[in-house]
């Protein structure tokens, strides 16, 4: 097979992948694991088209599941079937221009710095923008994860999410329900090959309690343990992310959120979503 994966990880990233994700240190063994996943998937799900078969794409599923072949196969199957089944979201993912309001407002934007555990910090601001469509926000979240997963450091170290709930309105809450939230969490928890290392909420308004009562019971236990409410006490965020990384909106000393830059990245990324 042409263009096989070649490992160019830094020494630190490789050690993390080996120690935390059970990734083979030897590239021959790594390629063997990728080939096993590719062939096993075709045997187990012969009617499901594997639209991407390149090593780099399959490797992210192995890393997300710590090189457990069975779990990686299941996640890959969910990835190929869950998103397309939700037509309203999938068409937005395929055509990011449809979520221009979310992109322009910077509803979901990664920070330039990282959390203390090496994960990439991502800020979400539900309700920010003019249209405030929940389906747009979901598509924006998935697109952001997709683009970030093109980076091997994100595949290995994961992401830490900060949801600033200051803009959350009753209008947005009314757009969601347990069925919709379950579909959304199924995509994030069961189909996206991403390691969510932390999920944090700040500036929670009273209406947040309604959303919380819907979402929290649907979370997997692992996600619940990583979910923290900070209110307006941003100092508790500093235990996870250095103040020099956090933007001024969190009383940090880091740069402002670059919504325009991330929008251009999303629109210019030539990935097969």
Digit-coded pLDDT (tens) for 49-74: 998 999 999 999 999 999 999 999 99
Count the helix, strand and coil residues of the chain and give each as a percent rounded to the nearest 5.
55, 10, 35
Tell me what percent of the residues of the chain surpass a pLDDT of 70: 98
The pTM assigned to this predicted structure is: 0.95
Domains of the chain plus CATH, in order, are: 11-85 (1.10.8.20), 97-268 (3.40.525.10)
Mean predicted confidence (pLDDT) in 7-17: 98
pLDDT at 273: 45
Tell me what percent of the residues of the chain surpass a pLDDT of 90: 93
Res. 2 pLDDT band, cuts 50 70 90: low
The neighbouring-strand residues paired with 161 are 122, 199
pLDDT at 3: 87
Mean predicted confidence (pLDDT) in 74-90: 95
pLDDT at 1: 58
> From CA 57, how far away is CA 89, in angstroms rounded?
22
Res. 130 pLDDT band, cuts 50 70 90: confident
Whether residue 272 has pLDDT greater than 70: no
> From CA 114, how far away is CA 154, in angstroms rounded?
10
Asked if 218 and 190 touch (Cβ cutoff 8 Å), the reply is: no
pLDDT at 234: 93
Mean predicted confidence (pLDDT) in 123-144: 93
Res. 89 pLDDT band, cuts 50 70 90: very high
Whether residue 132 has pLDDT greater than 90: no
Whether residue 271 has pLDDT greater than 80: no
Q: What is the pLDDT of residues 164-196, one digit of tens each?
A: 999 999 999 999 999 999 999 999 999 999 999
> From CA 152, how far away is CA 13, in angstroms rounded?
9
> From CA 271, how far away is CA 273, in angstroms rounded?
6
pLDDT at 244: 96
Mean pLDDT taken over the chain: 94
Dihedral of the alpha carbons of 136, 271, 61, 83, in degrees to the nearest 10: 30
Which residue's entry shows tokens 């919380």? 212
Q: How far apart are the first and last CA of the chain?
A: 23
């Amino acid at each position: 097979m042409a263009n096989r994966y070649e490992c160019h990880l830094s020494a630190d990233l490789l050690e993390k992948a080996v120690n935390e994700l059970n990734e083979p240190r030897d590239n021959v063994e790594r390629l063997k694991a990728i080939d096993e996943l590719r062939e096993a998937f075709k045997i187990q799900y012969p009617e499901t088209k594997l639209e991407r078969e390149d090593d780099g794409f399959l490797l992210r599923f192995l890393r997300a599941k710590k090189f457990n072949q069975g779990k990686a196969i299941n996640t890959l199957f969910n990835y190929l079937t869950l998103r397309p089944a939700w037509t309203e979201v999938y068409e937005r993912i395929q055509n990011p221009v449809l979520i221009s309001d979310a992109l322009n407002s910077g509803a979901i934007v990664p920070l330039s710095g990282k959390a203390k555990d090496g994960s990439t910090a991502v800020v979400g601001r539900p309700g920010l923008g003019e249209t405030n469509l929940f389906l747009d926000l979901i598509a924006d979240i998935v697109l952001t994860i997709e683009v970030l997963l093109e980076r091997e450091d994100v595949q290995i170290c994961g992401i830490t999410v900060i949801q600033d709930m200051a803009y959350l309105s009753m209008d947005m809450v009314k757009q969601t329900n347990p069925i919709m939230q379950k579909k959304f969490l199924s995509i994030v928890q069961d189909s996206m090959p991403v390691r969510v290392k932390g999920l944090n909420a700040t500036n929670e308004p009273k209406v947040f309690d309604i959303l919380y009562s819907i979402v929290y019971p649907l979370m997997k236990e692992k996600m619940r343990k990583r979910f923290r409410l900070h209110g307006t006490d941003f100092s508790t965020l500093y235990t996870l992310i250095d103040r020099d990384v956090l933007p001024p909106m969190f009383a940090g000393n880091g740069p402002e959120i670059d919504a325009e830059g991330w929008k251009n990245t999303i629109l210019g990324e030539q990935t097969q979503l």
